[in-house]
Homo-oligomer: A and B are copies of this chain.
Amino acid sequence: MNNKNRISKRIDNYSQWYQDIIDVADLAEHGPVKGTMIIKPYGYAIWENIKKILDNEIKKTGHKNVCFPLLIPKSFLSKEASHVEGFAKECAVVTHYRLKNDKKGNIAVDDSAKLKEELIIRPTSETIINNSFSKWIKSWRDLPVLINQWANIVRWEMRTRPFLRTSEFLWQEGHTVHISNKEAEKESQKMLKMYKTFVEKYLAMSVVDGEKSESERFAGADHTYTIEGMMQDGKALQSATSHNLGQNFAKAFNVKFIDKNEKTQYGWQTSWGMSTRIIGGLIMTHSDDKGLVLPPNIAPIKVIIIPVLKNRESDSKVLSFIKRKIKIGTSGVEIDSRINVSIGTKHYEWEKKGVPIRLEIGEKEMNSNSVLLFRRISSIGKPIKDRSSKKSIKITTLKEEIKKELKDIQSQLFENSKNYRINKTKRVDNWKDFVKEIENNNFVLAHWSGDKDVEDKIKQKTKATIRCIPFSEPKEDGLCVYSKNPSTQRVLFAKSY
């Protein structure tokens, strides 16, 4: 068990606060290899909930799960030119397949077991999957192919932070092939929409959906769509992406089909993914200076019941009362009946772990057929300062009240996230304001000429990048905030993770 108690304040040291939340809620810790992460039971339970819901959505839309190998021949990566540019720099390379004891009795790499062709641990699986697509697909009758896999991915990152950026992470990656660009485009938009609905409904994260600019596109895609959330330091977090790959990989890997007119053409493809990174976003969207805050729809424990324990005689009565009378009517209910741990300590622990509702039940409550209910966040979504927010509830209405409170907490968190982002999103029309608003850690909607050089210069000067060209922004004539060249639409700028 992790007994760390102190949490830095967001306002003092945001980055340390983030790490402290992970420590006090016991979500994860650093692995022995630099940049790796050990996901601990409570953190993994959150990922399991995400996985379960998302997997169900992916299957409902007709996709089937598969499992492709971890190791990819080096030569596969060079087949799609822009793809290798994007990924080659950060790959773990397997060169040998055996260890041996050296003369000193230490364990050493066996030089005689050198691979003829080096293998790459997958940084994403487009290449190895397309290699199979080229064998699976012959005719339009074979299309669409709609597959997905839940996998671990390795990208050799230099600056890492738990969940947000780790050398190894977990994700799902969808890969599809269609008969036309239109179908592929529809699929890539549909899956982005699925991600948006998921993060809003379950993770209570409000996000902006839109298209990436060319320089932020996935290596090998024609179009990359994204959802971008705002963290409590005003930075953007790319929360999921969906790519229309056009025929780029199909051409590189010879994925062809005979169409209805008996003509051979290359397949039209998409890929899309969401990773354990989203847990970093979840933490940074809702948590406060007291610890983690979890939306009920994703929380592994929605309600924690804390019996007020006194002495053996009283305790057995109270525990039996809880067992017989307390009906919550939801999954994710646990009882913390540890003895030798004070009730204060227990409250504090579950607060740090972000459990939405705590119930306290002692002899007094038992005798009045009631329970004391405490919310992790107040009814207006603000942190709770003291225990005055408690509410006594008759057990006859408990089920109903819990349902209402969980629903209220869920929507309150989403509203907070949405309002926070909206309040910190500024429309600016001149460079001076742009610089100021970015310095103030806001999202900025500004005109951009579409020129890559301008995008680069803005990044150099302010660290802000184009997070996306939002779907919600209407066409509007204007002048680029930096170059003053004509522009047809505002795009979203922000500093980001």
Contacts and interface: CB of A to CB of B under 8 A. Distances in A.
Interface of A: 1, 29, 31-33, 36-41, 44-45, 47-48, 64-78, 84, 88-101, 106-107, 109, 118-121, 128, 131-132, 136, 142, 147, 152, 154, 156, 167-168, 170
A78 B100 CA distance: 11
Contacts of A91: 97-99
14 contacts: A31-B68, A31-B69, A31-B128, A32-B73, A33-B69, A38-B66, A74-B99, A88-B107, A92-B119, A94-B121, A95-B95, A95-B96, A98-B156, A152-B152
Contacts of A73: 32-33
A97 B93 contact: yes
Contact of A66 (B44, B66, B70, B119): B44
Contacts of A136: 1
A120 B100 CA distance: 13
Given A32-B73, A93-B98, A98-B156, 10 more contacts: A33-B69, A33-B119, A38-B68, A41-B66, A44-B64, A45-B64, A45-B65, A74-B107, A78-B106, A88-B100
Contacts of A38: 66-69, 132
B168 A33 contact: no
Contacts of A66: 38-41, 44
A142 to B, nearest CB: 6
Contacts of A95: 93-96, 109
Contact of A107 (B67, B78, B98, B154): B78
A134 to B, nearest CB: 11
A67 B93 contact: no
A107 B32 contact: no
By Cβ-Cβ distance, the 3 closest A-B pairs, closest first, are: A41-B64, A36-B69, A39-B67
